[in-house]
Chains A and B, each alone.
Chain A
Amino acid sequence: MKQEFIITAYSENHIGLLNRITIIFTRRKVNIESLTVSQSALKGISKFTIVVNETKDRVVNIVKQIDKQIEVLKAFYNTNDEMIFQEIALYKVPTVALMESDQIEKMIRLHNARILEITREYTVIEKTGHEEETQALFEGLNTFGVLQFIRSGRIAITRSPIERLSEFLKERDSLFEKLEEKKKI
Chain B
Amino acid sequence: MTSLTNDNIPGQEPEEITGSEAVIRSLIAEGVDTIFGYPGGAIMPVYDALHDHHHNLKHVLTRHEQGAVHAAQGYARVSGKVGVCIATSGPGATNLITGIADALIDSTPLVCITGQVLSGLLGTDAFQESDVIGITMPVTKWNYQITSAEEIPEAIARAFYIASTGRPGPVVLDITKDAQFAKVLYSYAKCVKIRSYVPEYPADKELLRKAADLINNAKKPYLLYGQGVMLSGGEKELISFLDKSGIPAAGTLLGLSSIPTDHPLNMGMLGMHGNYGPNIKTNQCDVLIAVGMRFDDRVTGTVGTYAKQAKIIHIEIDPAEIDKNVKTDVALIGDAKHTLRLLSHLVQAKQHPEWLAEFKAAKDVEEEKVIKNDLAPQKAGMTMAEVVRMASDLTDNRAVVVTDVGQNQMAAARYTKFEDSRSWVTSGGLGTMGFGLPAAMGAKLGAPDREVVVFTGDGGMQMTLQELGTIAQEKLAVKIVILNNHFLGMVRQWQELFFEKRYSFTEILSPDFVKLADAYGIPGSAVNHREDLEREMKKMFDTDGPYLLEVHIEKEDNIFPMVPQGKSVAQIILSADELK
Stretch of A47-55, A58-66, A150-158 on the interface side: A58-66
0/1 interface trace, chain A 141-185, chain B, CB 8 Å (1 if under): 000000000000000000000000000000010011011001000
Query: Is A114 part of the contact surface with B, judged by Cβ < 8 Å?
Result: no
Contacts of B179 in A (CB 8 A): none
Most-contacted residue by chain A among B141, B196, B320, B324 (CB, 10 A): B196
The answer, yes or no, to whether A110 is at the interface (CB within 8 Å) is no
Contact call A64/B320, Cβ cutoff below 8 A:
yes
Q: Which B residues are in CB contact (< 8 Å) with A115?
A: none
Residues on the B chain within 8 Å of A19, using CB: 134, 137
Residue B505 interfacial (CB < 8 Å): no
With A70-B194, A73-B195, A73-B196 as given contacts, are A65 and B202 in contact (CB-CB < 8 Å)? Answer: no
Give A64 to B321 CA distance when docked, in angstroms.
Answer: 9
Partner of A178, one of B138, B145, B202, B323: B202
> A residues 1-41 with Cβ under 8 Å of B?
11-12, 15-16, 19-20, 23, 27
30 A-B residue contacts at CB 8 Å? A15-B145, A16-B133, A16-B134, A16-B145, A19-B134, A27-B138, A61-B324, A64-B320, A64-B322, A64-B324, A67-B319, A67-B320, A68-B319, A68-B320, A70-B141, A70-B142, A70-B162, A70-B194, A70-B196, A70-B197, A71-B197, A73-B195, A172-B195, A172-B198, A175-B198, A176-B198, A178-B202, A179-B198, A179-B202, A182-B202
In the assembled complex, A72 has its CB within 8 A of some CB on chain B: yes
Q: How large is the interface on B (under 10, 10 to 19, 20 to 34, 35 or more residues)?
A: 20 to 34
**Complex Cα distance A157/B318, Å?**
29
Distance between Cα atoms of A179 and B202 in the complex (Å): 6
Most buried by A among B133, B134, B197, B200: B197
Complex CA distance for A172 and B194, rounded to whole angstroms? 11
Q: B474-504 vs A: 1/0 string, CB under 8 Å?
A: 0000000000000000000000000000000
Q: How far is the CA of A65 from the CA of B193 in the complex (A)?
A: 20
Q: A175-B202, A176-B193 are in contact. Are A23 and B324 (CB under 8 A)?
A: no
Chain A, interface size category, equals 20 to 34
Q: Mark B183-226, 1 if CB is under 8 A from A, else 0.
A: 00000000001111110111000000000000000000000000
Mark interface residues in B122-149 (1 if CB within 8 Å of A CB, else 0): 0000000000011001100111010000
Rounded to whole angstroms, the CA-CA distance of A20 and B145 in the bound complex is: 14
**Residue from A16, A60, A73 within 8 A of B137 (CB atoms):** A16
B residues near A72, Cβ cutoff 8 Å: 196
Q: Which residues on B are within 8 Å of A, measured CB to CB? A: 133-134, 137-138, 141-143, 145, 162, 193-198, 200-202, 318-320, 322-324, 338
Docked-complex contact A23 and B318, CB < 8 angstroms = no
Residues of chain A lying within 8 A (CB to CB) of residue B198: 172, 175-176, 179
Give A169 to B134 CA distance when docked, in angstroms: 30
Q: Determine whether the beta carbon of B320 is less than 8 Å from that of A65.
A: yes
C-alpha gap A61/B324 in the complex (Å): 7
Q: How far is the CB of A12 from chain B (nearest CB, A)?
A: 5
Which residue of chain B lies nearest to A173 when distances are taken between CB atoms in the complex? B195
Cβ-neighbour of A68 out of B202, B318, B323 (below 8 A): B318
Instruction: Known contacts A64-B320, A175-B202; decide if A23 and B138 are in contact (CB<8 Å).
Output: yes
A65 to B137, CA, bound (A): 13
